[in-house]
Structure 1
Amino acid sequence: MPLIIVAAGILALLLLIMGLKLNTFVSLIIVSFGVALALGIPVENIVKTVETGLGATLGHLALIFGLGAMLGKLIADSGGAQRIAMTLVNKFGEKNIQWAIVIASFIIGIALFFEVGLVLLIPIVFAISRELKVSILFLGIPMAAALSVTHGFLPPHPGPTAIAGEYGANLGEVLLYGFIIAIPTVILAGPVFTKLAKKLVPDSFKKTGSIASLGEQKTFKLEETPGFGISVFTALLPVILMSIATIITLIQKTTGAADNHILVAIRFIGDASPAMLISLLVAVYTMGIGRKIPINKVMESCTTAITQIGMMLLIIGGGGVFKQVLIDGGVGNYVAKIFEHSALSPILLAWLIAAILRISLGSATVAALTTAGLVIPLLGHSDVNLALVVLATGAGSLIASHVNDAGFWMFKEYFGLSMKETFATWTLLESIISVCGLGFTLLLSLIV
């Protein structure tokens, strides 16, 4: 019965969002109240469950997400992202142009959220395509692959950051293992898959696409932008700080070294929130004040970044509410009982549930958070590495993007594709990332 109620809740969510065109956050809250009543949560406890779900999710995420949005905006508005892309394109040359796009998109994708990275990089891809007379899709698939992989696997992106908070996983470990998984996944889903896509839908590589909907884009003369080295350093600083802290902590655990003030300080600086704050302060100088840009202009970029992520934060909070309803309503425990004596790995189960929810709901973040509500009770019976469960959930939440996902329509319109061509490129690309992510996570589970 609990699973039937959850299925009915998901169908109601689809009806409200796709049928009645209701706002996603409002739909999530309505469905959460309805499912809570159906699951038999006492009426006097429902509001508390809703508030707990919203507060617990955003309490962990809002600081990292907000600081990350500001950091990305400063790098974009200063021309740092354009400098990274154009320098790599010039260095790699025409023959290796795909690899230049992959590396540039990967670096920029770490600092910028998926939609922002897409909007920023697509005009650059179109410009390079015109100059070198190559297909926009030949460059667009590797770009989308790199952005999607960073979005699904690497903090401070909302999905992996939120799931890590729900599972109680170490964010530094998620980042470190995420990198190990992300690099081969990008190669397979980017340059390698492009060759397959060219055989599947050759006509799509002749399309010219359109970016008219993006409006007037802010472009810079290369000499007006920050240097390549400082742009890359600023974009990757949170990753560097979190990775150093994680590696030193792992070495300390392995060697059994005693704790001291230096190690405590490193762990503090490498924690996600201080790492993001330090990185933002560095960006304020390197992308702003150090280049003689007035502080009020720099702060304008930060303010714009926050206003742009307001609804996204609420949607993530709404996903957290639905997750909490599933936990408090006993659905998670019910699922745990079903799989209590199962040989199925929690990694595989998390991927499977997230994949089903992603196909049903469209939103990767909502699918991932709902999965957490079903999987958390299972983790008490297992010694599985929590960081790997985070990555498996993230991988599952990316699969088979189709008509109920905004990314599907963005890719279709920008590259001027038909529905069939979009399924054969974008949907298949996302599915390859998802399956590769699971495969590499399972391989990593044999080692860590």
Structure 2
Amino acid sequence: MPLFIVGLGVLLLIVLISKFKLNTFLSLLIVSFVVAIGLGMQLGKIVSTIESGMGSTLGHIALIFGLGAMLGRLIADSGGAHRIAMTLINKFGVKRIQIAVIIASFVVGIAMFFEVGLVLLLPIIFSIARELKISPINLGIPMLASLLVTHCFLPPHPGPTVIAGAYGADIGKVLVYGIIIAIPTVIISGLIFTKIDKKIIPSAFIKDGGSIDAIGQQKVFKLEDTPSFAVSLLTAMFPVILMMISTILSMIQETAGIKKNSFFTIVSFIGNPDTAMLISLVFAIYTMGIKRKIPVKKLGDTCTAAAASIGMMILIIGGGGAFKQVLIDGGVGKYIASLFNGTSISPILLAWIVAAILRIALGSATVAALSTSGLVIPIIASYGDANLALITLATGCGSAICSHVNDASFWIVKEYFGFSMKETFATWTLMSTVLSVTGLIFILILNAFV
């Protein structure tokens, strides 16, 4: 019965979002109330459950998410992202242009959200494709694969950050393991898949592309007016560097049995995601702004605009957290856990399967990942030695699968590259599925060693 009620709730969510075009946050809130009532929760506890779900989720992510948005906007508006992309492309040359696109997109993708990275990189991809007289999708698939990997695997992106908080996983380990898994995954889904896909849907690879007019007016940068490549790269990667140093030293301390002292305490403090993002933002204000004689007021306006642009996304994440809490407090997670009692299914595989099903049904990778955590948390409790960082990555990986008509990214790719429905399915949808399955394989391999 609980699964039937949840199934009806998911169906209602799909109808509200896809059929009636209702705002995603409002749809999540309505479904949370409906499912809570359907599960027989006491009416007096429903509101407090939804409030605690939103509060616990946003309390963990709001700071990282907000600071990350400001950092990304500063790098973008200063021309730092443009410098990173163009330098790498020029260095690698025509023959290795796809590798250059992958690296540039990966670096830009770590610092910026999927949609922001897409808007920044598409004009560059189209101009290079025109110069090389090739179809933009030859560079588009590697770019999309890199952006999708960073979006679903790596903090400070909302999905992995929120899931890590829900599972109680160490964000630093999620980041380190995520990078290890992301590199081979993006090579297979970005480089190798492009070659195979040319044979599957050749018509997509002879098109000149669609139109990027929908992106709107883009800033035009002269390369000499942008920050240097080294400064831009360091600024974009700074939070990752801080978190990775902290995690690696922490792992060395635990492995070597070194007693915790003030040095490790300070390193842990600096490597905390909240601290690392704040330090990185202050660093970016200097490197991308003050050092280049940009007025502090203008930098403040950039940060304000970035914060304003993510307002609805934060509410959607909060709505997903509310739905997750309803699933937990309503007993759905425990019910599913009871179904798996006595079975030997890997929690990593289970998290991936649940996230994949919800992603296909709901469209939103972030909402699918959040809902998955509500169903999987009680099951994880029965596995004493479960690797929470890898379960986090498996959830994010599952939420990347099979982007189709209920996902906004599907339509973005279709329109920008001028594809038919069939061509979009055979490129973007198929690539996201290959990426998800490949990522799962590497997660299971890494699980055998850590």
Residue 314 of structure 1: aligned partner: 315
Residue 415 of structure 1 aligns to which amino acid in structure 2?
F
Residue 85 of structure 2: aligned partner: 85
Secondary structure of the structure 1 residue equivalent to 2:310 = helix
Residue 267 of structure 2: aligned partner: 266
Residue 143 of structure 2 aligns to which amino acid in structure 1?
M
Residue 31 of structure 1: aligned partner: 31
Task: Name which of structure 1's ranges 318-327 and 201-210 shifts more when overlaid on structure 2.
Answer: 201-210
Q: Deviations over 1:84-121 (max 9, x none)?
A: 00001110111111111000000000000000000110
- What is the deviation of 1:304? 0.8
| Runs (4+) off by over 3 Å | none
Residue 365 of structure 2: aligned partner: 364
Residue 78 of structure 1 aligns to which amino acid in structure 2?
S
Where do 1:121-270 residues align within 5 Å? 121-208=121-208, 209-270=210-271
- What is the deviation of 1:433? 1.0
Residue 331 of structure 1 aligns to which amino acid in structure 2?
V
Q: State how far apart, in whole Å, the 2-side matches of 1:61 and 1:187 are.
A: 30
- What is the deviation of 1:397? 0.4
> RMSD value over aligned CA atoms?
0.6
Q: State how far apart, in whole Å, the 2-side matches of 1:258 and 1:280 are.
A: 32
Residue 449 of structure 2: aligned partner: 447
Where do 1:46-61 residues align within 5 Å? 46-61=46-61
Q: State how far apart, in whole Å, the 1-side matches of 2:443 and 2:16 are.
A: 35
Q: State how far apart, in whole Å, the 2-side matches of 1:135 and 1:34 are.
A: 48
Q: State how far apart, in whole Å, the 2-side matches of 1:132 and 1:287 are.
A: 31
Q: State how far apart, in whole Å, the 2-side matches of 1:215 and 1:317 are.
A: 29
Q: State how far apart, in whole Å, the 2-side matches of 1:447 and 1:340 are.
A: 26
Secondary structure of the structure 1 residue equivalent to 2:87 = helix
Residue 161 of structure 1 aligns to which amino acid in structure 2?
T
- What is the deviation of 1:385? 0.6
- What is the deviation of 1:39? 0.4
Residue 272 of structure 2 aligns to which amino acid in structure 1?
D
Unpaired runs of at least 5, structure 1: none
Residue 320 of structure 1 aligns to which amino acid in structure 2?
G
Q: State how far apart, in whole Å, the 1-side matches of 2:419 and 2:412 are.
A: 10
Residue 413 of structure 1: aligned partner: 415
Residue 435 of structure 1: aligned partner: 437
Residue 141 of structure 1 aligns to which amino acid in structure 2?
I
Q: State how far apart, in whole Å, the 2-side matches of 1:160 and 1:284 are.
A: 26
Q: State how far apart, in whole Å, the 2-side matches of 1:380 and 1:221 are.
A: 54
Q: State how far apart, in whole Å, the 2-side matches of 1:18 and 1:130 are.
A: 36
- What is the deviation of 1:135? 1.5
Residue 118 of structure 2 aligns to which amino acid in structure 1?
L
Q: State how far apart, in whole Å, the 2-side matches of 1:99 and 1:3 are.
A: 45
- What is the deviation of 1:423? 0.4
- What is the deviation of 1:213? 1.1
Residue 322 of structure 1 aligns to which amino acid in structure 2?
F
Residue 300 of structure 2: aligned partner: 299
Q: Do the aligned partners of 2:401 and 2:435 also contact (CA within 8 Å) in 1?
A: yes
- What is the deviation of 1:130? 1.2
Q: Deviations over 1:154-190 (max 9, x none)?
A: 0000000000000000000000000000000010011
- What is the deviation of 1:132? 1.7
- What is the deviation of 1:201? 1.0
- What is the deviation of 1:349? 0.3
Q: State how far apart, in whole Å, the 1-side matches of 2:191 and 2:415 are.
A: 22
Secondary structure of the structure 2 residue equivalent to 1:134 = coil
Q: State how far apart, in whole Å, the 2-side matches of 1:407 and 1:152 are.
A: 14
Aligned length: 448
Q: State how far apart, in whole Å, the 2-side matches of 1:78 and 1:36 are.
A: 47
Q: Do the aligned partners of 2:67 and 2:277 also contact (CA within 8 Å) in 1?
A: yes
Q: State how far apart, in whole Å, the 2-side matches of 1:190 and 1:4 are.
A: 38
Q: State how far apart, in whole Å, the 2-side matches of 1:210 and 1:191 are.
A: 24
Q: State how far apart, in whole Å, the 1-side matches of 2:205 and 2:274 are.
A: 43
Pick aligned residue for 1:398 from 397, 400, 411: 400
Q: State how far apart, in whole Å, the 1-side matches of 2:341 and 2:289 are.
A: 55
Q: State how far apart, in whole Å, the 2-side matches of 1:38 and 1:211 are.
A: 45
Q: State how far apart, in whole Å, the 2-side matches of 1:331 and 1:99 are.
A: 45
Residue 98 of structure 1: aligned partner: 98
Residue 325 of structure 1: aligned partner: 326
- What is the deviation of 1:308? 0.8
Where do 1:4-23 residues align within 5 Å? 4-23=4-23
- What is the deviation of 1:122? 0.1
Unpaired runs of at least 5, structure 2: none
